[in-house]
Amino acid sequence: MSGSVAPVRAELTVAHAALVDSAVEILRGRRIAVLTGAGVSTDSGIPDYRGEGAPARTPMTFQQFLDDDDYRKRYWAGSQLGWKRFDAARPNDGHRALAELEIAGGAGGGVNGIITQNVDGLHLRAGSQRVVDLHGTMDRVRCLRCGQLYARADISHRIDELNPWLADPGATALGPDGDVEISSVADFVLPTCGACDGVLKPDIVFFGEFIPREKFVEASALVQKADALLIAGSSLVVNSGIRLLDHATRRHLPVIIINRGATKGDSRATLKIDGGTTETLVALRDQLLT
């Protein structure tokens, strides 16, 4: 499996270890659908939207991006500056633990797939085989006019050619979607579609944009075929996560939530573990695969 992040072998507190033991009792021998949020990737250096200590952000909406060249310039300039750092992120031990549980299949607790709200592609890079990226992925770019798809690396190269003055300032803070704040974009030249000269947009779901129906159907199918739902690193503020939780609770599936701080699903969880996702997922893997 890929990745160069140092392994995590944190000692769990007695209380945390006891909760992991309880989760193992619930999950052992079951097919597990997994829903992950930004908290799973924080140990890979990608910040969280809503976790403890996360700065307040006002993300660009899809309508703003669609309606205004200035918004598009601001998005693409900031995204270009953050892309290389975002792309350099590597899977952490939590990602790898989930991949190993999926590959192990029914050997004492198997993951039947990952549903992720993240756009970083780290689950695939960690070795997970069935990943539903509910909110899209940053490594693809789509034309809004003709639908042509491009590799993000190719568009990044084109932006460099169009804007040789644009340099990474280094000190700016990376955002959860691989963007940074930039002060002036007046001279920025937007990339356009090579096929039809249309507007290009990263193949991710912006705020105010609907999740593609086929993605949610695929995610729901994973929950439908599962015997348990494991939610890791999501505060469940986004409606898609709550809908999947609803699906699981209607089927009376056990639900395990791992997250630092409260989530909107805590009252319906079979078990809530208030702690870091990486060390908790590693501990779960170690027990479920023995």
Residues 168, 277 within the same domain: no
Q: What is the pLDDT of residues 192-208, one digit of tens each?
A: 999 999 999 999 999 88
- Residues involved in catalysis: 135
Is residue 169 classed exposed, middle or buried when 0-12, 13-18 and 19+ CB atoms within 10 A define those classes? exposed
Residues 250, 290 within the same domain: yes
User: Given 204, 234, 259, which residue is the final one in a domain?
Assistant: 204
pLDDT computed for residue 3 by the predictor: 43
CA 164 – CA 52 distance, rounded (Å): 38
pLDDT computed for residue 277 by the predictor: 97
Q: What is the pLDDT of residues 28-45, one digit of tens each?
A: 999 999 999 999 999 999
User: Given 204, 222, 245, which residue is the final one in a domain?
Assistant: 204
Residues 99, 169 within the same domain: no
pLDDT computed for residue 103 by the predictor: 92
User: Given 187, 204, 221, which residue is the final one in a domain?
Assistant: 204
CA 233 – CA 283 distance, rounded (Å): 15
CATH number of the domain to which 288 belongs = 3.40.50.1220
pLDDT computed for residue 172 by the predictor: 47
CATH number of the domain to which 169 belongs = 3.30.1600
Please report where in the chains the tokens 């006891």 appear, as a residue. 18
Residues 197, 109 within the same domain: no
pLDDT computed for residue 166 by the predictor: 78
User: Bridge-partner residues for 200, per DSSP?
Assistant: 143
Residues 277, 224 within the same domain: yes
- Going by their DSSP bridges, the two strands 131-133 and 228-232 should be labelled as unpaired
Residues 71, 174 within the same domain: yes
Tell me how far CA of residue 10 lies from CA of 17, 254, 282, in angstroms. 11, 27, 9
Residues 117, 168 within the same domain: no
Residue 8 inside a domain? The answer is no
User: Bridge-partner residues for 228, per DSSP?
Assistant: 32
pLDDT computed for residue 47 by the predictor: 81
- pTM, to two decimals: 0.87
Structural domain of 71: 53-88+139-204
pLDDT computed for residue 208 by the predictor: 84
Q: Tokens at residue 259, please? A: 């997250």
Q: What b/e sequence results for 254-265 when a residue is b if at least 16 CB atoms lie within 10 Å of its CB, and e otherwise?
A: bbbbbbbeebeb
pLDDT along the chain (290 residues), means of 10: 45 92 95 97 82 58 93 89 82 97 74 96 96 95 97 94 74 49 76 97 91 96 97 94 97 97 97 97 94
